[in-house]
């Protein structure tokens, strides 16, 4: 049964008429809600939202004035004056409505332009139509405030502008000077796009940045930003012992039951972290209404606030539901990730999700990078080059020690050499490496500086395809390699990033390892291997996909992946084999 927490039942009963499952607004009442207040009384963002916002609460199926009663943690967040505030959150905790209130308040009361950024153009369009469009249609005041709402990505309120953009593509964020920036679900954004969006405020003396997201992995995205701030938890007074405390998993949940279908899971309950006393789910509205965010990092810059809230605080998610979600993660990696990210609002890395020190140690061999160079042809040696201001090259040899229809699975990889060199030395160094190691096939990324890569390919491709340019692209499935001939004499290989990273980094995770490193391998090479973390994310259709998230420099990891990609290309270009049958 839904908890009715509306503090003004007279208004609630008269503001809407229920007919069956349809709710219809009484426009006279909603107009009164908007116009019955002196605008000078809106002395804070939360008071403004209470006066000006009318919402349809999906959870309670009610329409009325905006209130934080179902999400008491958002009241303090509305009134935060810190220039930067990062929110580490679970799902469905009222924080998108909070972000919308911030945007509308800045437009109306503070007369500031706002840039609201979401991960994709589709997400931006959906939010614009459903959430912002709904906010304007329910409130006559807000509807009259905006003079132009025809554009999905831009809404005009007199001289103030609300920009709603997807983070994909640099053009979406160029030339948008604003005072307020809101980054919604920033863990789904390219980190480069986040910094590009932040640059939109560089010319402003006074600025406001609000970032919110369910996290993915540690030290990435919202969690990385959270660690730079005050790291606040929502603290309340325990109804049992009276001490100040906050909810955390698993200390504050008495887990009852043993598996997802165990009926006893419903008997699970919350308990105080301090006194271990039982806390009734139905008591939450009373003891959470006076809760406050308290910093756990007292040495933080006060201008950078960060707050965490999980579904342990939710009025609508029961402890039993959380326990079932916890059990669902046993043996289901995707479910385990979602439990930590979406339920607990915490970053999470599953076992073996990234290359660690133990995996590197296990892969060390007895050879060195100074061993004799090949003295005869016939060895299967490939090279990968990740390009930039500095180029990262890896040379590998492959040995077939098992049977498989997949050539990469059948072969064991031995890293012979790795090197970093400046872009100014690109032509000389790659030519020397190709000759010195008798490389049968090299793959290098096409960007940046495609002209240098194309010249490199032309120098070696007169007698066959020894050099391929590579681009990562969506729409290429599994380990498929889409080949195309370029007019410039360079062959282009288009592949899926995640599947080929999985093929190369997965060698470290086998026991025993399917990769051998030189005993004098550089610390930078090892560091780069560990800076890519594999995790699962749901795509726009809800299907889980493996993605690799970058938490630091990862150039050697991509160079190694290009070596892996070059292996089936050897069979294709040197042996005239059908590449589709090698994968």
Antiparallel, parallel or unpaired: β 467-472 and 441-445: parallel
Work out the pLDDT band at 185, boundaries 50, 70, 90: very high
CATH among 3.40.50.1820, 3.40.640.10, 3.30.420.240, 3.30.210.10 for 357-582: 3.30.420.240
CA 435 to CA 491: how far, in whole Å? 20
Angle between helices 523-530 and 555-573 (to 10 degrees): 90
> DSSP H helical segments within 424-496, as ranges?
426-436, 450-460
What are the boundaries of each domain within the chain? 357-582
What's residue 34's pLDDT? 46
SS (H, E, C) 463-524: CCCCEEEEEECCCCCCCCCEEEECCCCCEEEEECHHHHHHHHHHHHHCCCCCEEECCCCCHH
Structural tokens at position 522: 């550089």
What are the tens digits of pLDDT across the range 395-418? 999 999 888 888 999 999 999 999
Give yes or no for a contact between 51 and 40, defined as CB atoms under 8 angstroms apart. Answer: no
Q: Is 76 exposed, middle or buried (0-12, 13-18, 19+ CB in 10 A)?
A: middle
Residue 529 confidence (pLDDT) above 60? yes
What are the tens digits of pLDDT across the range 423-477? 999 999 999 999 999 999 999 998 777 788 888 888 887 656 689 999 888 766 6
Structural tokens at position 463: 């007698």
Q: Look at the pTM and tell me if it is higher than 0.85.
A: no
């Amino acid at each position: 049964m839904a908890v009715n927490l509306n503090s003004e039942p007279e208004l609630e009963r008269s503001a809407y008429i229920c007919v069956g499952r349809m709710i219809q607004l009484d426009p006279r009442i909603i107009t009164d809600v908007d116009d019955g207040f002196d605008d000078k009384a809106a002395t804070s963002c939360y008071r403004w939202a209470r006066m000006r916002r009318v919402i349809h609460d999906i959870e309670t199926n009610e329409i009325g004035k905006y209130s934080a009663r179902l999400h008491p943690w958002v009241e303090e967040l509305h009134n935060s004056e810190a220039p930067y505030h990062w929110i580490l959150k679970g799902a469905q905790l009222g924080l998108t409505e909070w972000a919308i209130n911030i945007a509308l308040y800045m437009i109306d009361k503070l007369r500031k332009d706002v840039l609201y950024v979401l991960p994709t153009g589709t997400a931006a369009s959906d939010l614009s139509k459903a959430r912002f469009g709904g906010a304007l249609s329910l409130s006559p005041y807000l509807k009259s405030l905006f003079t132009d709402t025809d554009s999905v990505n831009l809404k005009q309120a007199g001289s103030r502008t609300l920009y709603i953009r997807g983070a994909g593509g640099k053009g979406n964020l160029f030339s948008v000077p604003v005072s307020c920036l809101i980054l919604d679900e920033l863990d789904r954004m390219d980190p480069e796009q986040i910094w590009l969006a932040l640059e939109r405020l560089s010319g402003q003396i006074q600025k406001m940045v609000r970032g919110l997201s369910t996290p993915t992995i540690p030290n990435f995205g919202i969690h990385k930003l959270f660690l730079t701030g005050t790291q606040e938890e929502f603290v309340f007074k325990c109804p049992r012992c009276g001490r100040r405390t906050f909810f955390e998993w698993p200390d504050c949940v008495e887990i009852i039951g043993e598996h997802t279908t165990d009926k006893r899971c419903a008997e699970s309950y919350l308990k105080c972290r301090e006194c271990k006393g039982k806390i009734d789910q139905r008591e939450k509205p009373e003891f959470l209404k006076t809760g406050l965010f308290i910093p756990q990092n007292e040495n933080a810059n006060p201008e950078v606030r960060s707050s965490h809230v999980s579904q342990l605080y939710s009025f609508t998610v029961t402890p039993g539901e959380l326990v079932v979600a916890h059990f669902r993660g046993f043996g289901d990696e995707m479910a385990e990730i979602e439990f930590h990210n979406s339920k607990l609002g915490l970053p999470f890395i599953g076992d073996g999700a990234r290359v660690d020190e133990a995996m590197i140690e296990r892969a060390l061999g007895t050879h060195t990078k100074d061993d004799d160079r090949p003295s005869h042809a016939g060895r299967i040696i490939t090279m990968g080059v990740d390009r930039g201001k500095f180029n990262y090259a890896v040379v590998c040899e492959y040995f077939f020690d098992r049977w498989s229809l997949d050539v990469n699975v059948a072969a064991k990889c031995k890293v012979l050499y790795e090197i970093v060199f400046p872009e100014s030395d690109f032509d000389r160094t790659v030519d020397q490496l190709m000759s010195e190691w008798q490389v049968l096939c090299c793959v290098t990324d096409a960007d940046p500086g495609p002209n240098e890569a194309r010249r490199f390919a032309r120098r070696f491709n007169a007698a066959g395809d020894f050099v391929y340019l590579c681009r990562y692209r969506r729409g290429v499935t599994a380990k498929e390699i889409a080949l195309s001939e370029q007019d410039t004499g360079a062959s282009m290989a288009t592949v899926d990033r995640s599947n080929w990273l999985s093929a190369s980094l997965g060698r470290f995770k086998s026991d025993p390892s399917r990769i051998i490193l030189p005993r004098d391998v550089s610390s930078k090479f090892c560091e780069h291997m560990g800076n890519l973390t594999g995790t699962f994310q749901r795509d726009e259709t809800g299907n889980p996909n493996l993605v690799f998230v970058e938490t630091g420099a990862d150039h050697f990891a991509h160079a190694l992946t290009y070596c892996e990609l070059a292996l089936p290309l050897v069979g294709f270009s040197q042996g005239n084999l059908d590449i589709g049958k090698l994968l």
